[in-house]
């Protein structure tokens, strides 16, 4: 197919309206650079004048060179019964000095009369006057037809008249908005198709919200009906339930429908999704289609065996096409095929012979019956392999630890934790004490304090994530606890897990396995006298 589809990103505006997201000016500049590098056609930077951050941002953008993307400023039509040249919002949009200005206007008669408190005719004048005024100043104008689908279903004649007004006034793009996110793909397709037939010379767009979990499907439906531009956000960020997720929209169109969107940059899609999630200070949901950590994970033995032969047996697209990777999950359901596939991707390159596989599977089943889970703990899995094979280096030996948590002045806010630990390395015994904001934090500090003089590499190891799960709640506060830790040294990430009825011990196991794996990855020699043989 030779059809051209534009991508209009509104992560910086719509995305910032999501609960828990607040982009700084520097955050927005970073995201703009990332999106420009991905060759996104349009980047909606925000609403000029809405807040001091956007004022500062648009000033910077006036002199910021971009390789591919075009910056758009966002606002609304003039106020009722106001001249456009006297409207504060329109003049603020002009001051932003962007080539493209996107304004939204009402197309649902119910909103016009009850939200704007004006007449249907005046609303059409507001649309027309605003577009013509901005056009007279040399701007490219996009018109977001707010609540278009709801308006069309309630009063199609008026909704069409609003679109016609925008078209005749010179809007370069007219975007159908499912603002409440309540439509389904069949009606989106039907209405969009009717409008594309009625105005064949108009370049339409689609802007969908995800309140019915249909935003991506609705965007694709509108595109199939003939719209030219798709609006959305990376990772689906947005108000309420979010917007159409461009991390799903883009690969679906490019990989499944054969329409080139961003060319070879699609291989950077997973990295881009993660990068933007980090800037937004949000964890990328593991099961996000295409770009999530678990999007191409396989647990059942028959699945692992299938993808080993032909990836298409259980994968809808090759993970490498969007820069993701396949994960083979090892559990008590694993068979020989699963284990072989898993071992192929070991970070430490541990050599495993076929005759070792049965005893490894038995060890996995034994440990998982005790509450261990290797599904999302590749580092602990590799350490377990070295133990079974008798090749695990012993960097240190635990002689004991103690953790004390106490309060001062009878105030819960003054809770203090202190950990003391005794470790043996070679013939030396290291006894350290540290305080922390909690027992695990104090223990982490104490371990690092003891080992740093001998293994300075761990200075760069830090925890990215820390999760605690009760394995079986029937035992109440005596239940086994699983502690999962995600660690990084700045360029690699690894996961470890520890299990115990004592949460502090479970954390200690996971923490020390994290340190051990980090040292193994960097091929740091053990300073302990002996190597453990199991």
What count of other Cβ atoms lies within 10 Å of the Cβ of residue 351? 11
| Sign of the alpha-carbon torsion through 371, 375, 376, 379 | positive
Determine the distance from the C-alpha atom of residue 83 to the mean position of all C-alpha atoms in its chain, rounded to a whole number: 43
DSSP 219-242: HHHHHHHT--EEEEBGGG--STT-
Angstrom distance (rounded) from CA 445 to CA 458: 12
Superfamily of domain covering 6-279: Aldolase class I (3.20.20.70)
CATH class of 399-454: alpha beta
407-411 contacts, C-beta under 8 A, 24 or more apart? none
- Is residue 370 a contact partner of residue 481, using CB atoms and an 8 Å limit? no
Q: Tens digits of per-residue pLDDT, 151-181?
A: 999 999 999 999 999 999 999 999 999 999 9
pLDDT band at 473 (very low <50, low <70, confident <90, very high): low
- The edge-to-edge listing of strands for the beta sheet with 481-488 is 462-470, 481-488, 493-500
Query: Class for domain 362-395+460-526, per CATH?
Result: alpha beta
The span from the CA of 244 to the CA of 249, in Å, is 7
Contact 388, 380 (CB under 8 A): no
Q: What is the pLDDT of residues 44-83, one digit of tens each?
A: 999 998 888 899 999 999 999 999 999 999 999 999 999 9
* DSSP tag of 54: H
Show the DSSP H helices in 292-438 as ranges.
Answer: 301-309, 336-343, 357-369, 378-389
User: Of 496, 507, 500, 466, which Cα lies nearest the Cα of 480?
Assistant: 500
Asked which of 353-362, 421-430, 454-463 is least confident by mean pLDDT, the reply is 353-362
Model confidence band, residue 235 (pLDDT cutoffs 50, 70, 90): very high
How does the average pLDDT of the chain come out, rounded? Answer: 88
Encoded tokens for 234: 């990376």
CATH 3.30.160.340 domain locations along the chain: 362-395+460-526
Chain centroid to CA 177: 24
Instruction: Pinpoint the residues of the chain covered by CATH 3.20.20.70.
Output: 6-279
261-279 residue pLDDT tens: 999 999 999 999 988 988 8
Q: Which residues of 266-282 are buried (b: 16+ CB within 10 A; e: fewer)?
A: bebbbebbbbbbebbee
pTM greater than 0.85: no
């Amino acid at each position: 197919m030779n059809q051209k589809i534009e991508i209009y990103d509104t992560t910086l505006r719509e995305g910032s309206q999501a609960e828990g997201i607040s982009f700084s000016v520097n955050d927005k500049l970073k995201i703009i650079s990332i999106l420009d590098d991905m060759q996104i056609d349009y980047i909606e930077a925000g609403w000029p004048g809405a807040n001091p951050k956007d004022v500062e941002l648009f000033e910077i953008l006036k002199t910021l060179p971009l390789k591919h993307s075009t910056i758009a400023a966002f606002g609304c039509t003039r106020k009722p019964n106001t001249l456009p040249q006297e409207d504060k919002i329109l003049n603020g949009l002009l001051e932003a000095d962007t080539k493209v200005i996107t304004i939204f206007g009402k197309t649902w008669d119910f909103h016009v009369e009850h939200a704007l408190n004006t007449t249907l005719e005046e609303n059409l004048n507001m649309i027309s006057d605003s577009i013509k005024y901005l056009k007279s100043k040399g701007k490219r104008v996009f018109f977001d037809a707010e609540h278009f689908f709801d308006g069309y279903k309630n009063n199609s004649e008026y909704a069409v008249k609003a679109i016609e007004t925008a078209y005749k006034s010179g809007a370069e793009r007219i975007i159908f908005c499912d603002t409440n996110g309540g439509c389904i793909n069949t009606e989106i397709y039907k209405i969009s198709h009717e409008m594309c037939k009625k105005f064949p010379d108009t370049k339409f767009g689609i802007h969908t919200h995800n309140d019915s979990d249909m935003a991506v499907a609705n965007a694709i439906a509108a595109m199939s009906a003939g719209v030219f531009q798709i609006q959305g956000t990376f990772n689906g960020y947005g108000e309420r339930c979010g917007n159409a997720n461009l991390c799903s929209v883009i690969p679906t169109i490019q990989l499944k429908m054969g329409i080139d969107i961003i060319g070879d940059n699609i291989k950077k899609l997973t990295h881009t999704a993660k990068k933007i999630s980090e800037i937004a200070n949000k964890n990328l949901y593991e099961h996000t289609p295409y770009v999530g950590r678990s999007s191409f994970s396989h647990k059942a033995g028959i699945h692992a065996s299938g993808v080993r032969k032909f990836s298409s047996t259980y994968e809808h697209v090759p993970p490498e096409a969007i820069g993701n990777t396949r994960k083979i999950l090892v559990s008590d359901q694993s068979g020989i095929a699963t284990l072989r596939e898993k071992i192929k991707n070991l970070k430490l390159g541990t050599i495993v012979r076929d005759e070792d596989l049965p005893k490894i599977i038995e060890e996995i089943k034994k440990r998982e019956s005790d509450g261990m889970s290797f599904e999302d703990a590749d580092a602990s899995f590799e350490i377990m392999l070295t133990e079974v094979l008798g090749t695990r280096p012993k960097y240190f030996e635990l002689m004991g630890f103690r953790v004390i948590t106490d309060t001062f002045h009878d105030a819960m806010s003054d809770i203090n934790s202190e950990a003391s630990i005794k470790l043996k390395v070679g013939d030396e015994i290291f006894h350290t004490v540290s305080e922390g904001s909690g027992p695990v934090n104090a223990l982490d500090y104490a371990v690092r304090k003891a080992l740093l003089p001998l293994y300075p590499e761990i200075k760069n190891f830090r925890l990215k994530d820390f999760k605690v799960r009760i394995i079986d709640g029937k035992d109440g506060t005596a239940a086994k606890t699983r502690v999962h830790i995600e660690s990084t040294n700045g360029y690699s990430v690894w996961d470890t897990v520890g299990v115990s009825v004592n949460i502090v011990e479970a954390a200690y196991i996971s923490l020390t396995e994290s340190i051990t794996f980090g040292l193994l990855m960097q091929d740091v020699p053990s300073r302990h006298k002996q190597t453990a043989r199991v």
